[in-house]
Amino acid sequence: MKPFITRVFFSSFKSTILTLFLPIIVICILVTGFVSYFLASSQLQENAFKSINDTVFQTKSYLDNQLRDVFEQLVALSNHPDTLSVIARHPSDIGPSDYIRMDTHLSRIASFNPIIESALIHLHDGKFVLFRSDDQWAKVRFSYPDYRERFQGGQEDFYWQNLHQDDIFISSREESEVVSVFKLIGKEQAKANGVLLFHINRDFFRNVFNDSLIGENGYLVLVNQEGVMSFKQVDEEYQLNDEVLKHLQGITKDQGRFEFQKPNGKKMLVIYDTLSVNRWKVAAVFPEEDLLKRVDYIKVVTLIVAVLLIIVAVFLASMIARYITRPISYLVNSMKGFEKGNMEVKLDVVGASEIGLLYKGVRDLVVRVNRLLDQIRAEQETKRQLELAVMQAQINPHFLYNTLYSIKGLSDMGLNKEASSMVTALSNFFRIGISRGQEIIRVQEEVEHISNYMFIQEMRYGDDFSYDIEVEPRILHGQMIKLTLQPLIENAIYHGVKQTRGIGHIQVNGYLLDEDICFEVKDNGAGMSKERLEEIRKGLSDKDPAKLGFGVRSVHERIQLHYGEKYGLTIDSEEGKGTIVKVLIPLLEG
């Protein structure tokens, strides 16, 4: 009779749970689902606008920095005493030394500004002409009266010209579109006339605009009073019409957002910002439906999840009503000791064995948690020691002393510009090395760091070695541990190219490998024997400090501490032919 009464009690308890609590759970799931949908869709649109606005701002800032550097080079060239001297003198008084000095200025500008495709100095009605062009067969065709008639009213006679066919340099290239910045010299009755002109490579703008992803049908444009520059091919229904372009050209606000309706009914959104160097506008144009696609996706997902949760709730309610009855009270009373922080409470299980299993699981969990905490503390301590050791190694007194001594030597020889460039590289080297105490930096910052380092070393050793850095633009916004590449390059210099005769060369490549980032540091130095290579590889796998240099060991261990055993360094070398060190890290964007 007693078992029967117990079964009736349990059945009644189960029916009570299903009757009272299941409808409440279903209502809560539905309400939570709808609220989550509205909040998520609103947040998604806000995030999309913010992401596109950030893209526009970053593109604007990058273009501003690059174009301002070109413009400042043009201003400096126009105000240089050598240029003013050539302008002021009669053509018959201009000698070969003037050509040499002006050609030196053009060479320096071209070397420090890779986006400048060609440059022209055309003075005294063509009696003084100098130019530099990537096309060695280029010829110059310039008419000062035509340019003076077309361009008037520029501040200090400086002008910018949007993407156009190159009408000055006649070359053999198929694509000859350029962006121009120039200064016209001579007005009205002036004794001298001419132009100082730089052409900026079309590919520079195409790479910048194609790297910025604005959805499937969104795109970036660069707008000024002459027209619009755009590289992404989209259907006509998404393109800017003349009315919208005219409106965008006439906007006086530096930044903002507006929308317009296409004749086919599509609603388009425009987010824009303004370049400070020439007042051109960078604008992102995209259809509103691209944002709503994700909202519809969230609606479907929310509905599916809500249905699944209701099914799970029904199932769980039935299971809980069936199994959690009498043992639950005993469990609650026994577990009160845990509320007081006593992790050693002993639970004497009476009845259902599930309660004993639950206690055993909790007890095992506490043991594992304590063990993991100890392991994490040990790993963090090791990581901090490695980071401290790396930072101390970077502020190498010998490197700093030798660099400062080289700067002094340049200053003593009157090479102040070279000394200034070396000081700038040194300060940028330490600035990025410190990076406000952050351990993770952008790939672009790490590339700048090694560029400064190799520039300093190249200035110190002269023609003893050269270097190249080639990094795919799509990985520059990724993240990586700082001071990863510099120790490897330092090894390549001191243990590679300096140990062999002839001119050494160091090549640094960075590219996307599946879902990871791979860097390669190659040198044509002395290399190493097979025995030494195997010893180093074994040291990497065994983490044996006796078989590795500090730089290689610290880089490898820091990478594996951060990203796991899958990542780290691999080394290939052949005696007399150089060494290749590969660095594999995950692609993490932030």
Residue 232 class from Cβ within 10 Å (0-12 exposed, 13-18 middle, 19+ buried)?
middle
326, β-bridge pairs = none
d(CA 555, CA 390) in angstroms, rounded, equals 9
pLDDT of residue 268: 85
DSSP 566: T
How many Å apart are CA 523 and CA 589, to the nearest integer?
Answer: 29
User: What's the pLDDT tens digit per position in 243-293?
Assistant: 888 888 888 888 888 888 877 777 888 899 999 988 999 998 888 777 666
Summarised one tens digit per residue, pLDDT across range 373-404 is 677 767 766 665 565 555 555 556 667 767 77
- Interatomic CA distance for residues 335 and 309, integer angstroms: 29
Residue 364, SS3 per DSSP: helix
Q: Determine whether 34 is exposed, middle or buried from the number of CB atoms within 10 Å of its CB (0-12, 13-18, 19+).
A: middle
Chain-centre distance of CA 271, in angstroms? 22
Q: 């002993």: which residue's tokens?
A: 346
Write the DSSP symbol of residue 227: E
- For position 339, what pLDDT does the model report? 59
Longest CA pairwise span in the chain (Å): 128
The pTM of this model reads 0.47
**How close are the terminal C-alpha atoms of the chain, in Å?**
68
| Type of residue at 361 | G
**CATH class of residue range 395-586:** alpha beta
Q: Mind listing the pLDDT tens digit for each residue in 291-303?
A: 666 666 666 777 7
DSSP-based three-state secondary structure for 241:
coil
CA 442 to CA 588: how far, in whole Å?
10
Query: What residues does each domain of the chain span?
Result: 2-67+294-369, 395-586
What distances in angstroms separate CA 129 from CA 123, 248, 345, one per listed residue?
6, 39, 93
Instruction: Express each pLDDT in 115-168 by its tens digit.
Output: 888 899 999 888 898 988 876 666 788 888 888 888 888 888 899 999 888 888
- Cα-based distances in Å from 324 to 14, 313, 346, 425: 10, 15, 21, 70
